[in-house]
Structure 1
Amino acid sequence: MAMQQVAPRSMEGGAAPAPAPPGTDMTGICFRDQLWLNSYPLDRNLVFDYFALSPFYDWTCNNEQLRMRSIHPLDLSHLSKMTGTEYMLNEVMEPHLFVIRKQKRDGPEKVTPMLTYYVLDGSIYQAPQLCNVFAARIGRALYYISKAFTTAASKLEKIGYVDSENETPLESKVSKEAIDFKEVKRVDHILASLQRKLPPAPPPPPFPDGYIPPPTAEAEKGPETQQAGEPQQPSVDPILDQGPAKRMRF
């Protein structure tokens, strides 16, 4: 950042020519007067005199009129009775931070904020507007996101290129592998020996009382030989279809 300094007032009867009113966008510059900081303390009473040396100061403001009348430039009892551009000390954290707000006064209680400045450890800056802060942050985020996608895409292209070079058809791998019948017989022998070592399977549980097994193939042929008038019992599960009345009593 450029360091700018305004020439002090002339002591030989009269004042130095006032500089042009500061522009709206002066966020790219910084003001610091080390000689003044070495000579005077930076507190709430003298910070405005230090701010008046910077190029951010508008010499046509109401505060300057109070200074010409030997009144403290931040005296609100006098500023509230005036109209026009003025500066107000908004926040103070002595001796490191002072926030000064430029505003337009249309009445005792009607003011419109314009710009904000802050004095940080003796250096004066113009605070950027909120829309400019959001635009800068979003632009920076988009830059890093785009850079991340570009890096990821380049790595994926390299991975795909290596895989395409080393890729071999699955069928060719299977065809190259010959079947070893000795190994197959060995596996069968191991499985048979394990099966012999296992205990025999337990017998199936008995059917419940009254259960009629489903008809087999021979039973299906039976109805053809049976007489037409002879009734047939339906193959039902007495436990499921006949309910608790057929259950055994102990």
Structure 2
Amino acid sequence: MRSLYIIGCALLFAACSPEASTTPLHPIPEATFSATPLPDNANKIVVKSTTPGGFLWLWNFGTNGTARREQDTLSFSKKGEYTIQLTVFTQGGYATTAQKVNIANDMPAVDILKGGDMSAGSETFWPLLNTGGTQTTIVVADGVLKFSSAGGTNGAVYQAITVKKGREYTFAADIKGGGAVETWFEVIFGTTAPEQGKDYSGTTLIAMNTWAGCGNMPFNGAFVGIGCEGVGKSDGKIKFDKDGTVYMVIKGGSTGAGTMGPDGITLDNVQFLEEQ
């Protein structure tokens, strides 16, 4: 009986013992990846993990952002040297590696205006605004936006634009006139939607004003440089403190004794460039 008891205990102990694992251990990974500029846009870098066995990829490229696909395209808007870091996870664990890339140039700014070339049909993007009183004559014709006044008028056109907080925007346009008298001509930005029959005020980006000493003599060239008033008179640049819709209002008029010149004031090649 004693021997049977000993055999029974031995069998019970064997049944309760853990089985040896047959799952193989995977090797610790070595993270590697390729980074190749797009042929037609060197500000965009195609990255691809070349780490065998990866199932999760975490890309970090600083303030420019993050990504999570095995292959992705990363964008760099400003020139400079950047570090791209990859953390890859496999059955053997995870590993991290990094490469430096050099971006030669800033990404070109993008014009976000519609109808700025003033070609036929562009007037649909520039609603006419009565700012109170007698309306300045404003038309899109012959490839330009033309303001005309024989005195005592005011008026504007406008366009709603979606902007992003902290981005730099640059206004540019060609302006032409034969010399004005007691006339103002300005580009204003505001967050309030224009209302018919009411004057519009906001941030004056650039303005021509005969009382301030510009526009009295014939002029033809870039509005920046010819204009003599406004926060962007020297470079046309402006930033906004929050995301949302702003209104570009192009307003012009003359006093009762004034005139916008023999052929009025024209604008062409109007742009509002958003940095990328």
Give the shorter-chain TM-score range. Answer: under 0.3
Q: Which has the larger radius of gyration?
A: 1
Q: Which has the higher strand share?
A: 2
Relative CO higher for 1 or 2, CA cutoff 8 Å, sep ≥ 6?
2
Q: TM-score, normalised by structure 2?
A: 0.18
